Amino acid sequence: MKTAIIIAAIAAFIAILLLLRAGAKVLIADGGVTAYVKYGPFRFRIMPAKQGKKKKEKKKKKEPEESKPKKGASAGRVLEIVRLASDALGRLRRKLTIDDLELAVVYGSDDAAGTAIAYGAASAVAGTLLPLIENSFKLKKRDISLTPVFDRKTLEVTLRAEISAALGSLLWIGLVMLVKLAGAKSAK
């Protein structure tokens, strides 16, 4: 009986780990990019890297390399990898959720008419791309703002995007792609 309880507890723990969402958060503002990877309640900054004490690198003596002819992949192999990548992206597209998408663009030029034309073009592009994004992904929250400034020359772009998917879904897609890749290699 105790063994069954332990096995059930381990299975429940693994199920919870697979159901937790893994994702990424990207912030682009003030000329800098910050990126985080998150898994459940944990968040790790990956960009920019933390500034730590730099260790002195030992200089290694370079040994002369023999020039060997490099062997490239065949066109059929490249096409096969592109097909697998396209399939993986299609599967991933259905599993990804855009939790938050915020885009703020402030644009201005010396010419008020040019600013108005640029604003109209940007609005048209946003109006075209937003339905494509909404149809391709689950989009929970979005806020897109385009602001024209007619009295000075400026361009300020702020983007915040958070995407996530269940870890189990990501692992399953990876496993399916590995099996397909292994099957394609063995077929040759």
CA distance 23 to 37: 6
Q: Please provide the average confidence, as pLDDT, over all residues in the chain.
A: 80
Confidence of residue 102 (pLDDT cuts 50, 70, 90): very high
Give the pLDDT mean for 16-26. 86
Q: What is the pLDDT of residues 40-97, one digit of tens each?
A: 888 889 888 666 555 555 555 555 555 555 555 566 767 777 777 777 777 777 788 8
Q: Which residues of 110-134 are buried (b: 16+ CB within 10 A; e: fewer)?
A: eeeeebeebbeeeeeeeeeeeeeee
What's the confidence (pLDDT) of residue 83? 78
What's the confidence (pLDDT) of residue 74? 65
CA distance 85 to 174: 11
pTM, whole model, 2 decimals? 0.62
Sequence ranges of the domains in the chain: 21-43+92-188
CA distance 142 to 60: 51
**Identity of the residue numbered 112:** A
Which residues have CB under 8 Å from 180's CB, separation 6+?
84, 87
Q: What is the pLDDT of residues 144-179, one digit of tens each?
A: 899 999 888 888 888 999 988 888 888 888 888 788
Q: Which of 1-5, 21-25, 62-66, 128-132 has the lowest mean pLDDT?
A: 62-66
